[in-house]
Amino acid sequence: ISMLTFRKDPILAGEAQQLMRELEQSVWVVNPRRDDLVSTVEFLVQEARFQLSQTTVDIRTEISDIPERVTVLGSVRRSLLLAVRGIVANVLSHSRATSVRFSIVAEAETLRLSVEDNGVGFDCSPARKGHRGFEMLRTRIHALAGRLDIRSSPGAGTSVTIEIPFSSLGKMPTD
């Protein structure tokens, strides 16, 4: 298939771009040269920006205090990537947001990732069932000994915060 074919067929071009993106993500997960926390954070921000790039949703990113010498295992990188992808997909599918704040901060031996939107919000009380995506996210984060906090109410937007101890990310520096 030539580049000319892609230019003539936007659907094929989109599918090819998606396949390339998935291949890039697969390589990133297993690449040992990308197993540090700084690279992980950069890739997660890149993923969120990419997902929102074809929309009118504005994204603001805030990153601070990310230590350079924390190793992040490939399985953990994959879990974090899937978490970010799922959270942003929920924003795009359900929130009708115009703005998203994506924040990653490291403090007190914990990585904290937050996504806040200004969308329509929803009732997230425990009695309300049917949030399968959030149930899967909670399972994924708990498997990393992490904590998931979801705050929302109708008309007030949504905030999703993930906290994962550095000890669950991989190897810690020895000095």
Residue type, 149: D
Q: How far apart are CA 166 and CA 88, in angstroms?
A: 23
Count how many residues are written for the chain. Answer: 175
The pLDDT assigned to 2 comes to 53
Banded model confidence at residue 175, pLDDT cuts 50, 70, 90 = very low
| SS3 at position 107 | strand
What b/e sequence results for 91-107 when a residue is b if at least 16 CB atoms lie within 10 Å of its CB, and e otherwise? bbebbebeebbbbbbbe
The pLDDT assigned to 135 comes to 87
Q: What is the pLDDT of residues 21-56, one digit of tens each?
A: 666 766 666 666 778 999 999 999 999 999 999 899
For the beta carbon of residue 166, count every other beta carbon within 10 angstroms: 19
Average pLDDT over residues 67-92: 92
Q: Which among 161, 86, 152 is positioned nearest to 122, based on CA atoms?
A: 152
Tokens of 40: 């992980």
The pLDDT assigned to 68 comes to 84
What b/e sequence results for 20-38 when a residue is b if at least 16 CB atoms lie within 10 Å of its CB, and e otherwise? eeeeebeebbeeeebbbbb
Residue type, 15: E
User: Which helix (DSSP H) or strand (DSSP E) does residue 8 occupy?
Assistant: helix 3-8
Enter the pTM of the model: 0.81
Q: How far apart are CA 145 and CA 163, in angstroms?
A: 9
Q: Which of 17-21, 38-42, 54-58, 100-104 has the highest mean pLDDT?
A: 100-104
